[in-house]
Amino acid sequence: MKSESVAHYPVLHAAVLEHLAPQEGEILLDCTLGRGGHTIILSQHLGTTGRYIGLDCDDEAIAYCGQKLFDIIKSNFSDAVRVLDNLGLKQRGVDIIFADLGISSAQLGDADRGISFQLDGPLDMRLDPSLPNTAADLVNQLPEEQLAAILFYFGEEKLSRRIAKKIVEEREGSGSLRPILTTSQLACIVSSAIPAKVRQQSNIHPATKTFMALRIAVNQELAVLNKLLKIIPQLLSPGGRAGIITFHSLEDRLVKDGFIKLQNQQMNDNQAKLEIVTKKPILPSIQELKMNPRSRSAKFRIIRKQSLDEIGQDEDDEDDEENEEQDNEDKN
Q: In this structure, what CATH number is given to the domain that contains residue 65?
A: 3.40.50.150
Q: State whether 69 and 124 are in the same domain.
A: no
- Percent above pLDDT 70 for the chain: 88
Residues 241 and 273 in one domain: yes
- Does 266 lie in the same domain as 174? no
Same-domain pairing of 151 and 62: no
The alpha helices in the chain, defined as continuous H runs, are: 13-20, 37-43, 59-65, 80-86, 105-108, 135-141, 144-155, 160-171, 183-193, 196-201, 208-219, 221-235, 249-264, 286-291, 308-331
Domain extent for 117: 110-218
d(CA 15, CA 12): 5
Is residue 327 included in any domain, yes or no?
Answer: no
Query: How far is residue 51's CA from residue 25's CA, in Å, rounded to a whole number?
Result: 7
pLDDT at residue 14 tops 80 = yes
Confidence band for 219, pLDDT divided at 50, 70 and 90 = very high
Q: pLDDT tens, 260-307?
A: 999 998 766 667 899 999 999 999 999 999 988 888 899 999 999 998
Task: Check which CATH number belongs to the domain holding 214 and give it.
Answer: 1.10.150.170
Q: Please state, in angstroms and rounded to a whole number, the distance separating the CA atoms of residues 95 and 89.
A: 11
Residues 52 and 190 in one domain: no
Q: Is 302 exposed, middle or buried (0-12, 13-18, 19+ CB in 10 A)?
A: buried
pLDDT on residue 5: 40
| pLDDT (average), residues 62-74 | 77
Nearest to 68 by CA among 104, 30, 24, 102: 30
Task: Count up the domains in the chain and report the number.
Answer: 2
- Pair 232, 291 in one domain: yes
Q: What one-character DSSP code corresponds to residue 293?
A: G
For residues 170 and 116, state if they share a domain: yes
Q: Is the pTM for the entire model greater than 0.85?
A: yes
pLDDT band, very low/low/confident/very high, at 39 (cuts 50, 70, 90): confident
Please report the pLDDT score of residue 4 as a whole number.
Answer: 44
Task: Give a yes or no: residue 329 inside a domain.
Answer: no
